[in-house]
Amino acid sequence: MTRFAAPIAEQIWDMKYRFKAADGTPKDATVEDSWRRIARDLARVEDDAAQWEDRFYTALEDFKYLPAGRITAGAGTARRVTLFNCFVMGTVPDSMSGIFDMLKEAALTMQQGGGIGYDFSTIRPKGADVLGVSADASGPLSFMDVWDAMCRTIMSAGSRRGAMMATMRCDHPDIEDFITAKSDPARLRMFNMSVLVTDDFMEAVKADGSWELTFNDRVYHTVQARDLWNKIMQATYDYAEPGVIFIDRINAANNLSYCETIAATNPCGEQPLPPYGACLLGSINLARLVSDPFGDDSQLDEAALQELVATAVRMMDNVVDVSKFPLEAQAREAQAKRRIGLGVTGLADALLMVGQRYGSDEAAAQTESWLKAIARAAYLASVDLAKEKGAFPLFDADAYLASGTMQQMDDDVRDAIREHGIRNALLTSIAPTGTISLYAGNVSSGIEPVFAYAYTRKVLQKDGSRTEEEVVDYAVQMWRDLKGDAPLPDYFVNAQTLAPSDHVKMQAAAQKWVDSSISKTINCPEDIDFDAFKDVYMQAWDSGCKGCTTYRPNDVTGSVLSVSEDTKADKPVPVDEGGEVVYMSEPLDRPADLEGNTYKVKWPDSEHAIYITINDIVLNGHRRPFEVFINSKNMEHFAWTVALTRMISAVFRRGGDVSFVVEELKAVFDPRGGAWMQGKYIPSILAAIGGVIEQHMIATGFIAGEGMGLKNDPKAQVVGLDAPRGKSCPSCGQYDLRMVEGCMTCASCGHSKCG
């Protein structure tokens, strides 16, 4: 019997979390092997490793505790990867050399798969004097463009994700340019962006007072606070960014306010972190802890919850010791404070199982109660670890207990911390769980409502055929298993039917007992009135939230397809001409025979020519590139031609729109100089190879022309539309992208730039 509750869960495990050799051969034969691998690796720092390995395995078993993807994929593999999800980089110096030192650190961190955050408020505004060079500063936005280009380069080199967060204070002179930066649809695509909003600014907004924009104590402009607030709201209404972070509230509540100042968050906002701060993530699957679901005695098993939380805290604390870090400064910061981010997933499903409507006062109270139970259990477990292993190095009892979060903690927990210390400075966070929620059987994600009760997912098979399968929400499937064809009760609601105020209510209820922050998207209807939209943000402020992120479908952000039980996903129109773009969950097998062409490239001043063979696969009567062979008699070329052959062929066999390979190769410049070929300047021999591949794609009809994109992309053509569609998933091509927890996530394959 399989442990997976749905086919999509097993497919997500196989694609993202299953340990495989470099050639793709599975090393984890079953998901039990994955659990054992993780448990063994995290237990190796314990004195009694065997005992704790078994206890860790029990926590992982049946998806009760879900370590974040970095841990699930990387623990126990002996690969040089970080198990930490979240990083905020060092403070950006206001100097050219310092800025580019920070850029290098960002690239090294992203290369290992870490999502990063930066505060760009420290860079002098556009037009300010640059001493010593008789020039005006270009401003922080120009350097953000450099970061954006770096991120695209890292992604094209094969990094798992390219998520970045950019923040800027509401009193920076360039804040208005920051607010409107995303109005250009081609600019800063690699960034999520948020404004750091202070308490003084919110008071000025409410009082309709003036607001000074300053840098280094110099006032550059004075504006009306309410006008600036309205500009933030209008930009967010029009294109979903920037978000809002209530930065003073974050610092006042921070357990470590006595030894750090926070000015940025990770890409999805659930981890406000100091310079070089890092945090790992994991989630308790509440949907697995409800006894007698949908029955008269349904309830969350709080005894099981407390035991599971205690084990999870110990596992996460061990990650600090077993993980590698991209930078030494990140390792020092993590070990000095031992931050962890334990959260939940499956909240909405658990509420359904106990008969409560997400967004109701009753559900908000229940959420607050469950999150308090988790916080208490986590803090007490960390105290027990401090007794055994010692408190985190920067612990100061009086200062720690005086923080805003700790002042509301129960007296018995405070007394225990004062007497014994605590192992982990911060313990709770609600992270994006889109992919691990699919892996756990399509439970509702994080503290989000159920997005859709069911939807249809198309899966490409190895023979090129497509099959369809229904993906059902975990709680809905359980209802069907228990109740048969009985209609869903009235308390079943989803993200599309909820009022925005219900979203805010649930976020605020959870935030009371989360010491870091929450990744949450407040879905707003497309026709929401602008004043009502602004009220959502003011409600978030008034109810104690640490930030606010909304998503309103429109022509700029794209519409999100909602698929209910009686609505099936629409089918793409077959392509009539040109190369077919195929999206697949795994590479196609190589047929015995392929159609292809061989091309000769004679690079000036080179003794031997290079021969390029490009073979195409034929699917549904259309050719698309499948593999490349690059050969030369010049042995100096041997290593890189073999590497290029393998890499390009691997990209082609993954499917999708592979025309980007051409542009990446054509953009390579040789510092020794290029050459003139057939009346054109070619900047490198790699660019020449890119040009050959491009001409082949044009000849076979895969792309429309030189420097152009696809000749005919089936993603762009659909029939039977009852509602406008958004963009298709760049990984699998399906129209199941949805804004979840602050990041566009594909419900069909789990793809998310945020991980």
Catalytic residues: 266, 268, 270
Tokens of 141: 């936005």
Give yes or no for a cis peptide into 67 (omega within 30° of 0).
Answer: no
CB atoms within 10 A of CB 189: 13
Contacts of 585 (CB under 8 A, 6+ apart): 11, 15, 459, 460, 732, 749
CB atoms within 10 A of CB 708: 12
Is 551 within 8 Å of 522 (Cβ atoms)?
yes
d(CA 434, CA 555): 24
Phi-psi region of 675 (alpha: psi -120 to 50; beta: other; left: phi over 0): beta
For residue 489, the 8-state DSSP code is P
CA atoms within 13 A on the CB side of 744: 24
Nearest to 580 by CA among 693, 717, 729: 717
The SS3 assignment for 314 reads helix
**How would you classify the pairing of strands 299-300 and 622-632?**
unpaired
CB atoms within 10 A of CB 41: 22
Is 645 within 8 Å of 628 (Cβ atoms)?
yes
31-43 helix and 302-322 helix, angle to the nearest 10 degrees: 70
| CA end-to-end span of the chain | 30
The SS3 assignment for 145 reads helix
Is 439 within 8 Å of 17 (Cβ atoms)?
yes
Burial of 132 (0-12, 13-18, 19+ CB in 10 A): exposed
Find where tokens 């199941």 sit. 736
DSSP 210-229: EEEEEETTEEEEEEEHHHHH
Phi-psi region of 558 (alpha: psi -120 to 50; beta: other; left: phi over 0): left
Find where tokens 């998503």 sit. 551
Tokens of 22: 């470099």
Tokens of 674: 């290029």
**How would you classify the pairing of strands 191-197 and 454-460?**
unpaired
Is 89 within 8 Å of 116 (Cβ atoms)?
yes
What sign for the dihedral angle of Cα 487, 489, 492, 496?
A: positive
